[in-house]
Chains A and B, each alone.
Chain A
Amino acid sequence: MTSTAPDRTADATLLAGLYRRMYAIRRFEETLLEMFSQGLLSGTTHTCIGQEANAVGVIDNLDRARDVIFSNHRCHGHFLAFTGDQVGLLAEVMGRETGVCGGKGGSQHLCAPNFYTNGVQGSILPVATGIAMAEKLRGARAVTTVFLGDGTLGQGTVYECLNMAALWSQPLLFVVEDNRYAQTTPRELAVAGSIPARAEAFGIATEALDTTDVLEVREAAGRAVARVRETGGPFFLVLGTYRLSPHSKGDDVRDPAEIEAWRTLDPLRVAGSRVPEAERAAIEAVCEDELAAAVAAAEAAPVAGAAA
C-alpha cells in the first residue's frame, strides 16, 4: 500500500459520496449472496466485495452521457457505479421482466445505455476495442473503459487488443483489477512477468498502484481518463486489490487467515474510518432504505417467462 495519502480533509463531501456508493454496492452484493443461500435466486453470481473502490473510484471520472464501459463477469459494482440502477440489476438477477435485460442476461450479461458486460474472459476486449474505434470515428471524444482481471491476462485477445489499441491509437482505458486470484488459482501460478510491462511493450502509457483507498484510485483513474481523453489513445491502469468474497458463491479455498488479514484493508473500512460516525450512520441508513425498496420493487415485478 502506498503511504502518500492525499489531503482528505479538503473534500469530506467527496469522500462521503464515494463511501455511500461503495456501501450501496457492498450491501447490494451481500444481499444477493444471502438470497442465494436462502434459495431465493437461481443461477450464479460473482461479487466484487473488497474491490468496490475500483468501480467507484474509476467510474467517478467518467461522463455517463458519452463514455462507454465494457465489463466482465464481476460487473455489479461497475454497473451500479455507472447507472445506480439497483432495481434493474436486482430484477435481472432475480429473473424478472423488469430486469435490465428482461431476465435474459442474468448476473453477468448486462446492458444499459453506454454500458455492456459479457461473461467470457478475454472476450470483451475486442468488442471494447471496436467500440473505442467507433466513438473515435464519430468524434465523440469518448473514453471507453474495459475492466479485466489478472486471470484474463492468460487470454491471447488481451495482447491482440493492446496491439490494435496502440497501433490505431484508440481511446481505450484498460483497467486491470488484479485481485491476486483467477477463481481459485493464485496469480503466481498463472501470470508470468510484470503486468504493467505487458502494456509498456506496446508503447502504451501505464500506471500501477496497490491500494484499496477509493480516493487514491479515483485520482489515478482521473489522470488516466484525462490522458485518454486528451490524447485519444490508450492507457493501461493496474489496480492491485483483493476479493474478500468467494469467486462465485461458496467456492473459496483460500486460507481464512489470509482473507482475515486483508479485511484491515477493506475499502469500506479505509474510507469509512475517515467519514464522521454520525454522517456514516446516516449514509448507511439511507442505503439500507434504498436497498430494501429495490428488493421490494424487484420482488413485486413479474417473473420473466412465467406466462409461457
Chain B
Amino acid sequence: MAAGERCAQVLNRGLTEAFETRADVYLLGEDVLDPYGGAFNVTRGLSERWPDRVITTPISEASLFGVAAGMALRGYRPILEIMFGDFVALGFDQIVNGISKFREMYDDQVTLPLVVRTPMGGRRGYGPTHSQSLEKFLLGVPNIHVAATSECHDLVAMLLDAVDLDEPVFLIENKVMYGRSQRRPVDGRIDGLRCVEEPGPFPALTFSGNDFGPAAATIVTYGGMLPLVLEAATELIVEEEVFCEVVALGRLLPLQLDPVLESVARTGALVTAEEGSLTGGVGAEIAARAQELAWADLRRPVRRVAAADGIIPSAPGLESARLPGVRDVMDAVTALVAAGV
C-alpha cells in the first residue's frame, strides 16, 4: 500500500487485480469508460486495458441489477457500479424479487456470484437524492451479503473477497471515503489506537484507546461514519478521560454480531452510530439483537446515534445539522456515563 493512497485508488487497484486474476469478471455501470473512469474515478484505466470487459450502460438502474443477475446465472462474475447509492432504490424489484430469490427458490440449482458497488453518504452538499445512506433497506433482504468498506479496512481484500463469493454481495462504499487516505493498522495500531482485525472476509475491526483496559462503552459503527467515531473516541479520552471500544463492522448482512457482543461483555454498554436515518436503521437491528443476546452484560439501554429522520438538505449548515457528527457520538457516551455506567 502506497502511503497516503486514497481509498478510490485502492479500490481501483482491487478492481484491476480482480480483472487480472479472473477472466470471468466484467464491470457494468454508467460513465465507467475512460478517460472519465466513473463518477468517482474508481474504474479509471480499466476500459483501456479491458475494452471488452467494461460495459458502459444506459441510465437503466431498474434493469441493470437484473442484467448482472442474468450474467451471474450463466457463469460470469459481473461487478455492477451504481453511481450513487440513492439509485439502488430503482433496482429494488430486481434485488428483492430476483437476486434475493433465485438460488433459494430454484432449490440451489443456480449460484449468483455478483457484486454491486455503490457509494452512500452525504457531507458533500449533494442534497436529498444524492446523499443518503440507504444500506439499511438491504438488511431485510435475505440471501445477500452487505459489506461495508471503510478507510481502515483492507479495501483490496474486501473487493476480491466480494468477487470470489458465489453469492450476491453489495459492497457499500462512501463518497467522502473515496477522497480520504486509507489508514491500515501499523504494528496493530491506527493513530495510536489498538486495532484488532477479525480473520476472514469482510472483517470487523475493534479499536481501543487503552489496550483493551477498562472502557465505559462499546461504539459500533461502519463505513463513512468510522472516522467520526474514532475522532469522538479520541476526544472522549482527551476531554473526559473516558475510554471506549469501537467496533467497525465490515459486514452488515449477515449481521456481524460476535465482535460487538465480545466488546459489550468487556464494557457493559453499547452505542450504535450510523449515518443513515434513525428509524428502522442498522442500529435498531443491532440493539434488538444485543438486548436478546447480551442482556446480562448491558448495564444501560442501548443508545443509537443516527441522522434525524427527514431529508438531507443541500445547504452545508442544514446538512451537518441533520447528519450525526462527532459531538453526537460523544454526547451519547457521556449520557451513558452520567447515568452511571
Contact with B along A141-167 (1 / 0, CB 8 A): 000000000000000110011011001
The reply to whether the CB of A132 lies closer than 8 angstroms to some CB of chain B is yes
The reply to whether the CB of B187 lies closer than 8 angstroms to some CB of chain A is no
How close is A44's CB to chain B, nearest CB, in angstroms?
A: 15
Asked if A123 contacts B107 (CB within 8 A), the reply is no
From the candidates A101, A133, A160, name the one contacting B106 in the complex (CB within 8 A): A101
From the candidates A68, A105, A134, name the one contacting B71 in the complex (CB within 8 A): A134
Chain B stretch 32-75: residues in CB contact (< 8 A) with chain A? 55, 57-58, 60, 62-75
> When A104-B107, A120-B93, A160-B62 are in contact, do A130 and B68 touch as well, CB less than 8 Å?
yes
Asked if B93 contacts A128 (CB within 8 A), the reply is no
Asked if A157 contacts B62 (CB within 8 A), the reply is yes
Asked if B107 contacts A127 (CB within 8 A), the reply is no
Interface size on B, residues (CB 8 A): 33
Bound CA–CA A157/B60 (angstroms): 8
How close is A10's CB to chain B, nearest CB, in angstroms?
A: 38
Asked if B109 contacts A109 (CB within 8 A), the reply is no
Asked if A167 contacts B75 (CB within 8 A), the reply is no
Bound CA–CA A207/B181 (angstroms): 57
Asked if B107 contacts A102 (CB within 8 A), the reply is yes
The reply to whether the CB of A118 lies closer than 8 angstroms to some CB of chain B is yes
Asked if B101 contacts A164 (CB within 8 A), the reply is no
The reply to whether the CB of A125 lies closer than 8 angstroms to some CB of chain B is yes
Most buried by A among B55, B70, B75: B70
Contacts of B73 in A (CB 8 A): 116, 127, 130-131, 134
Asked if A125 contacts B71 (CB within 8 A), the reply is no
Bound CA–CA A163/B67 (angstroms): 13
The reply to whether the CB of B5 lies closer than 8 angstroms to some CB of chain A is no
Bound CA–CA A126/B114 (angstroms): 15
Asked if B65 contacts A111 (CB within 8 A), the reply is no
The reply to whether the CB of A71 lies closer than 8 angstroms to some CB of chain B is no
From the candidates B26, B57, B68, B104, name the one contacting A164 in the complex (CB within 8 A): B57
Chain B stretch 269-306: residues in CB contact (< 8 A) with chain A? none
The reply to whether the CB of B1 lies closer than 8 angstroms to some CB of chain A is no
How close is A144's CB to chain B, nearest CB, in angstroms?
A: 9
> When A111-B106, A118-B98 are in contact, do A126 and B65 touch as well, CB less than 8 Å?
yes
Contact with B along A79-123 (1 / 0, CB 8 A): 000000000000000000000111011000101100010111011
The reply to whether the CB of A137 lies closer than 8 angstroms to some CB of chain B is yes
Chain B stretch 97-156: residues in CB contact (< 8 A) with chain A? 97-98, 101-102, 104-107, 109-110
How close is B102's CB to chain A, nearest CB, in angstroms?
A: 8
Asked if B109 contacts A127 (CB within 8 A), the reply is no
Contacts of B76 in A (CB 8 A): 134, 137
The reply to whether the CB of A129 lies closer than 8 angstroms to some CB of chain B is yes
The reply to whether the CB of B94 lies closer than 8 angstroms to some CB of chain A is yes
For the residues of A in contact with B, the DSSP-based class is helix
The reply to whether the CB of A135 lies closer than 8 angstroms to some CB of chain B is yes
Contacts of A116 in B (CB 8 A): 73, 102, 106
Bound CA–CA A128/B106 (angstroms): 16
Asked if A131 contacts B105 (CB within 8 A), the reply is no
Asked if B107 contacts A134 (CB within 8 A), the reply is no
Asked if A130 contacts B107 (CB within 8 A), the reply is no
Bound CA–CA A133/B106 (angstroms): 21
Bound CA–CA A109/B102 (angstroms): 9
Bound CA–CA A70/B157 (angstroms): 35
Contacts of A126 in B (CB 8 A): 62-67, 69-70, 94, 98
Asked if B75 contacts A134 (CB within 8 A), the reply is yes
Contacts of B66 in A (CB 8 A): 123-127, 129-130, 157
Q: Which residue of A lies closest to B68 (CB)?
A: A130
Asked if A160 contacts B93 (CB within 8 A), the reply is no
Contacts of B105 in A (CB 8 A): 101, 104-105, 109, 111
Q: Which residue of A lies closest to B97 (CB)?
A: A120
Contacts of A102 in B (CB 8 A): 107
Asked if A101 contacts B74 (CB within 8 A), the reply is no
Contacts of A111 in B (CB 8 A): 105-107, 109-110
Asked if B71 contacts A130 (CB within 8 A), the reply is yes
Asked if A134 contacts B106 (CB within 8 A), the reply is no
How close is B88's CB to chain A, nearest CB, in angstroms?
A: 15
Residues of A within 8 A of B (CB): 68, 100-102, 104-105, 109, 111-112, 116, 118-120, 122-135, 137-138, 156-157, 160-161, 163-164, 167-168
13 A-B pairs within 8 Å (CB atoms) are namely A111-B105, A111-B106, A123-B66, A126-B69, A130-B69, A130-B74, A131-B70, A133-B70, A134-B70, A138-B75, A157-B63, A160-B58, A160-B63
